[in-house]
Structure 1
């Protein structure tokens, strides 16, 4: 009996020691968790206070549960030591598990495993509040269809531009511009304006109206020469059958035959337009000395120009050459030459001339006949003495004479000029007398 009591006392002592150790570890864990919550807590906010309260409640529940398990473990150890009758240890240096079965400590291993698992599970509370999950942006499949549509539109526009370039190249407008700049003297601005109208019209084959250009200027400034150069260029491009040069004083000199001339002209234009439509080309009609055209002919031309009955009559170019309004041009240039800067280019001077003279000329021409309401006005300015000398040089070279500069100055001095205005001498007859004077050499 004394030996049994001693064993009971030793077993109870060991069990109480294990329980105290476990309780101390538990208290340390609770203190560490509480300290972390206290030290890790920053400035008190409603969200952080709520999180701290939840942590304290959870720690308290954990402590009560572990305390209950500790009491159950102590009772189970005491009951196991009394029932098995294991002898007490005689020597504190020897420790064995003889006489103990796994069922003797049913709660101890599970408590340790749960303790390890719970130590691994740490609850972290972010200081900045709950994390926000950014939604993923998914690319719509319609984006690829939109890219495909852009590519198709780009290809179509590129092909259309190439087709327009091919249509313009057929008429060789660059070569025409070079020829006009070389052959027509003193009218560089007018040449640029005429080529601009042609490029704009010939860039496509489908039109809503024909191109009507009316060139006006005093005598000898190069109107007829400009018409001959255009006719020669278009004959080489579209053929002789699609170019008409109509001289009123030659084709219809008598006014009594004006009605018959108008009918013949209408039928001729219709045939040329139909032929051009079959060949997919644009014909050119040049009417020189338009100031002498009879009213019947002008009426027929107005019907053809303003006709909307068929598309064939819309694809044509009409060029009228006349000296109508020449007095307005002469007066304007003589009065405004002093205000024109010497550094201004020929294109700039001509643009000012067109801007200021177009309303005046259009008012005068519309009174003459309504045909000019459908036309684009292109005025030609007076020629200076330097331009007349260029005309002499060209004609002398063409006739095979030696281009002596002193001889050219002498011939140019025989031409009549207006009084000098702002250092410029304007010829009264332009280059009209150049051919006659060269023939006298």
Structure 2
């Protein structure tokens, strides 16, 4: 589409330059055609809240999770079922609310990006995808009440503009306790609030809270000689719940979202091993248009910090620094 628009714009420019070579009638006609084309290009390229710009690709999401997200068999399964079920429901009872937990670099932001890319034609660049980070948007504790009002207005305004809006809240563990409670009514089982329906919106919370308990479970399985793929959600649910519900730094501490069961899925992200980091490096090479090189990927992975120190089992930062380290090695 972008190539077509560029070609049409070039035609309009050429036509405009050549106007002086025509007689007055022809010149008027060319200018009129150019103006009409200009309006058409503008309207055609403007993102709208309709099926041309918003269309869920279930196969695309499944493929992305399988080929681009490494070491997260639990998260992949939950995300695919949750998002697919929600998007295929023409009349959901409430918005989809996902809470993603785990250490940095394990794929929480990456998964959010995948979801956006398989729903919105413009992906994360869509005007219907909104990202909040605590330190950027809510930096001052003394202004908590102001932030609550602003957040309510922002969510309401954007859902009014497009019912299928997505809101991503990053760094929930750094967010002021109770702030997210201000949008609780928008996540509940209401048909409409002040004439606005929030049922088709998606809310995603990203947090490092619970990362320690998730990692401890993974470490326990490794110490017992068990494969990480044996870890099931039930092995993590209790510890994760305690970490999120009872942690003042979780962003969800003492919120009515918990009491009212408004979070549909708590999704754990496991710590990554060396083999997963290697896969991240290979995928990043491919994304950069470089030839996949296993030796280089292995060197990049080995350069990261792992724990426990003697055994070097899990990457401290997951795949977070792969991009910059790959530039050094290539």
**Contact 2:106–2:269, Cα closer than 8 Å, also in 1:** yes
Q: Which is greater in Rg? A: 1
Pick one of 101, 117, 121 that aligns with 1:216: 101
Q: Secondary structure at the match of 2:109?
A: helix
**Contact 1:215–1:379, Cα closer than 8 Å, also in 2:** yes
Report the alpha carbon displacement of residue 418 of structure 1 after superposing the two structures with TM.
2.2
**Contact 1:219–1:432, Cα closer than 8 Å, also in 2:** yes
Report the alpha carbon displacement of residue 243 of structure 1 after superposing the two structures with TM.
1.9
Alignment of 1:16-415 (within 5 A): 170-236=55-121, 240-277=126-163, 282-306=164-188, 308=190, 310=192, 312-339=197-224, 341-342=226-227, 346=229, 349-350=230-231, 352=232, 354-367=233-246, 368-370=253-255, 371-372=257-258, 373-375=261-263, 376-415=265-304
Q: Provide the rounded CA distance (Å) in 2 between the counterparts of 1:430 and 1:334.
A: 15
Q: Provide the rounded CA distance (Å) in 2 between the counterparts of 1:341 and 1:334.
A: 10
Report the alpha carbon displacement of residue 330 of structure 1 after superposing the two structures with TM.
1.0
Report the alpha carbon displacement of residue 380 of structure 1 after superposing the two structures with TM.
0.7
- State the Cα deviation string for residues 169-214 of structure 1 (Å, max 9, x = none): 9411211221232222211331121010112222222232222111
**Contact 1:307–1:313, Cα closer than 8 Å, also in 2:** no
**Structure 1 position 418 matched with structure 2 position 307:** yes
Q: Secondary structure at the match of 2:118?
A: helix
Report the alpha carbon displacement of residue 253 of structure 1 after superposing the two structures with TM.
2.3
Report the alpha carbon displacement of residue 363 of structure 1 after superposing the two structures with TM.
2.7
Long gaps (5+) in structure 1: 1-165
- State the Cα deviation string for residues 299-323 of structure 1 (Å, max 9, x = none): 2122322363627123322111111
Q: Secondary structure at the match of 2:94?
A: coil
Q: Segments of 4+ in structure 1 off by > 4 A? A: 338-342
- State the Cα deviation string for residues 314-369 of structure 1 (Å, max 9, x = none): 33221111110111011111112244644x8x4xx35x1x1121122223322323
**Contact 1:170–1:237, Cα closer than 8 Å, also in 2:** no
Long gaps (5+) in structure 2: 1-50, 247-252
**Across the two proteins, how many residue pairs are aligned to each other?**
263
Which is richer in helix?
1
Q: Provide the rounded CA distance (Å) in 2 between the counterparts of 1:306 and 1:296.
A: 16
Report the alpha carbon displacement of residue 296 of structure 1 after superposing the two structures with TM.
4.7
What is the TM-score normalised by the length of structure 2?
0.71
**Contact 2:97–2:203, Cα closer than 8 Å, also in 1:** yes
Note the aligned Cα RMSD (angstroms).
Answer: 2.9
| Counterpart position of 2:21 | none
Q: Secondary structure at the match of 1:431?
A: coil
**Contact 1:234–1:243, Cα closer than 8 Å, also in 2:** no
